Amino acid sequence: MPSLNKIVASTLPLLPRWLVRPFASPYVAGESFDEAKKHIRSLNEKGFKTTIDILGEHVKDKVQARAITQHYCDLYYAIKEEQLDCNVSIKPTHIGLDISLAEAMANAHHISLAAKETENFLRLDMENSPFTDATLELYQHCKQIHTKTGIVLQAYLHRSIDDVNRLSRSGLNARICKGIYRESETIAYQNDVDIVENYFRLVKTLLSQSGFCAIATHDLSLLDLIESWIEENDISKDQFEFQVLYGVPMKGRLVSLLNKGYAVRIYVPFGSAWFDYSLRRLKENPSIAGYVIKNLFKQK
């Protein structure tokens, strides 16, 4: 029998956008930068750093990939002008990686130059495994242009520990996350216990090798584990930050992290592609529907 999550995931695409909007709204900071910047400013005022992402992925058309590239470049200048504490995260297939590596390289090159000129930071998100190697190549390229560049490594992938060890040799700034796509058991851990164990291992390895670690998770017991290890090992506060997705309830944990003097960054997505984005996420991983349902019924 299909689970409730699967039923919700398969029903949402049949509904009109206005009806689906409330499902996406807690997690999306509007359709334009003008809307998103209000949320960012309010987060900054509360002491949170932010990273912004224009929703969208798997662009197949060069004209569109280049327009999005320009939009990202403009964002860097707008962030500077608005004096926001905000950097930028980009999905490589949004700027052409699903067209060709050459197309994405050329576009990422422009974005890196804008990041450099505005003295800001660029992070490349990690998508599903057919794009892992190419994304790491993009990362190396961008890092040559602008050292303030980071990558994402997924704890469910068996390969990630080797990636940490290899990339750490040249100074690594990595966001560690569990991984959101469905991957085969030949390349990825499938159960949460193994993923959490590998997550913890990746964080310890990266921090022990003096890399910068963006600890991206909403898993409170995993956060307990990492926080204790950080305190026991006297890891310097400028070597890591905590990251969460905009709108995900954290039971007061973010404020307590701030009170301890830790940096907390909120990932703020915006854009007109919120509908397709939300549906694709749901199709790839119907268990996300569970979060949506929980969010609908949670006490405000």
Ligand X SMILES: Cc1cc2nc3c(=O)[nH]c(=O)nc-3n(C[C@H](O)[C@H](O)[C@H](O)COP(=O)(O)OP(=O)(O)OC[C@H]3O[C@@H](n4cnc5c(N)ncnc54)[C@H](O)[C@@H]3O)c2cc1C
Question: Which sequence positions are flagged as catalytic?
Answer: 125, 175
Asked if 291 touches ligand X (CB under 6 A), the answer is yes
* Position among 113, 223, 248, 293 found at the interface with ligand X (CB under 6 A): 248
Q: How many beta carbons lie within 10 A of that of residue 188, not counting itself?
A: 21
What tokens does 125 get? 């998100």
* Position among 48, 139, 267, 274 found at the interface with ligand X (CB under 6 A): 267
Asked if 94 touches ligand X (CB under 6 A), the answer is no
- Cα angle for residues 111, 157, 217 (degrees, 5° grid): 70
Asked if 149 touches ligand X (CB under 6 A), the answer is no
Kindly provide the b/e burial profile for residues 219-239, where b requires at least 16 CB atoms within 10 angstroms of the residue's own CB: eeebbebbbeebeeeebeeee
Asked if 39 touches ligand X (CB under 6 A), the answer is no
What tokens does 5 get? 């999550």
Measured distance CA(156)–CA(154) in Å, rounded? 6
Q: How many beta carbons lie within 10 A of that of residue 39, not counting itself?
A: 19
* Position among 6, 218, 253, 283 found at the interface with ligand X (CB under 6 A): 218
Identity of the residue, 64 or 295, whose beta carbon is nearer to ligand X in the bound complex:
295
Identity of the residue, 76 or 242, whose beta carbon is nearer to ligand X in the bound complex:
242
Asked if 49 touches ligand X (CB under 6 A), the answer is no
Asked if 181 touches ligand X (CB under 6 A), the answer is yes
Identity of the residue, 62 or 197, whose beta carbon is nearer to ligand X in the bound complex:
197
* Position among 217, 254, 257, 269 found at the interface with ligand X (CB under 6 A): 217
Interacting span for ligand X (CB under 6 A) from 68-76, 129-137, 216-224, 253-261: 216-224
Measured distance CA(51)–CA(244) in Å, rounded? 10
Residue whose C-beta lies closest to ligand X: 218
**Contact by Cβ (8 Å): 112, 148:** no
Residues 6+ away with beta carbon under 8 Å from 103:
62, 65, 96, 97
In the DSSP assignment, the letter for residue 16 is -
Smallest CA-to-CA distance from 53 within 86, 98, 101 is with: 86
**Contact by Cβ (8 Å): 84, 44:** yes
Identity of the residue, 126 or 254, whose beta carbon is nearer to ligand X in the bound complex:
126
* Position among 54, 213, 245, 264 found at the interface with ligand X (CB under 6 A): 245
Interacting span for ligand X (CB under 6 A) from 65-73, 97-105, 203-211, 242-250: 242-250
Q: How many residues touch ligand X (CB under 6 A)? A: 22
Measured distance CA(37)–CA(203) in Å, rounded? 31
Residues 154-173 that bind ligand X (CB under 6 A): 154
Identity of the residue, 116 or 218, whose beta carbon is nearer to ligand X in the bound complex:
218
Asked if 104 touches ligand X (CB under 6 A), the answer is no
Identity of the residue, 66 or 218, whose beta carbon is nearer to ligand X in the bound complex:
218
Strands 264-270 and 240-245: parallel
Measured distance CA(122)–CA(51) in Å, rounded? 9
Residues 108-137 that bind ligand X (CB under 6 A): 125-126
Instruction: List residues binding ligand X (CB under 6 A).
Output: 125-126, 152, 154, 175, 177-181, 216-219, 243-245, 248, 267, 288, 291, 295
